Structure 1
Amino acid sequence: MSVGLIIAIVILVLIIGVVVWGIGAYNNLVTLRNRVKNGWAQIDVQLKQRSDLIPNLVETVKGYATHESQTLANVMAARAGALQSAASGDVSQRIAAENQLSRALFNLQATAEAYPQLQANQNFLNLQGQLKDLENKIAYARQFYNDVVLKFNTAIETVPSNIIAGLFHFEQAQYFEADEPARQAPQVKF
């Protein structure tokens, strides 16, 4: 074998290796992007269930806490904002709207604690239990989503897969984080 032929074979093997690596890196990025989409879809399902539960919860509280109309109005306005943001498809807008809804629901639950008859109402207790269960599912889905976003964003930023990410215009996904006001306990005054 001539030296030229050996060099040609080595170059061909290197080219094939780079192509195989590129395909693998691309497929990994696509897989991670699809996991991010799936994670968001799981959150979306839980958020939709929560939105469907809220009118029943508000109606139950309304019967006992008639002078708490502002709290109830805030919950319904936050729910409407969350539903509107869900229709928009903008993840950052949806996260902000859902954080606002979470704050309004927390305020509603804090308000409801001041009404012993409401706390004894079986319908309210059932709705509150369902809401607590949904909040736990949302928290789990958010954790799963954020874990997948971390893996995806890391793959986009690290060498050498960042080369493939740049060539095929992969963009970082946004974490589902609570905004600063949602991290603070609300002030409830009577």
Structure 2
Amino acid sequence: MVVLITSSHRPSRRTRSFLKDLNKVIPNSLRVNRGKKTFDDLALIALNNGLKYVLIVSEVNANPLRITIYGVYEQESKLVRLAELRLSGVKLLREIPDSQIPLNIRKLVIDPKDLDVLNKVGGLDKFLEALRAEIKPVDSIVSVGDYMLVKPKKLDGDLELSFICLGTMKICGPIIRVRRVITYG
């Protein structure tokens, strides 16, 4: 496993659903209910499970507002903030017509044709590194059932990230609209 996914202390129902959707589309991720856990507790959970990153979803007015990416610093068992995605909106899997629930997804892939869209938004590399997304041409993939495509699209000044199952070419994850990315250190 690579990523621990959790929320702020008292998440709304919508944020909990968003976390479940993220857990389904990120291979080898572990979702933890935050409760009263501190950052040190989250770092210990991540270290005990051999995880390198922690994603914390924060909310405003019961809607996910930001995804903060932390790296796990092993020597002191602390979290180091790497990047923050400011969101302008999310669309949950259940809100998307003709979507499907992803099954047995082993890898995320980004088509090299979409790299120019991603490069226009600086700092997104930390998020994609935490997701362990590979850059690979879609037409070269043999076992399409194991892969999910991360499809970026520029929309009204925001970046929209969609998750598409390659076997059926249907959306099978939340649609995330990123307003801006802030990198630290």
Q: Shorter-chain-normalised TM-score: which range?
A: under 0.3
Which has the larger Rg?
Answer: 1
Say which structure is richer in strand.
2
Scaled by the length of structure 2, what TM-score is found?
Answer: 0.27
Larger relative contact order (C-alpha < 8 A, sep ≥ 6)?
Answer: 1
Scaled by the length of structure 1, what TM-score is found?
Answer: 0.27
Say which structure is richer in helix.
1
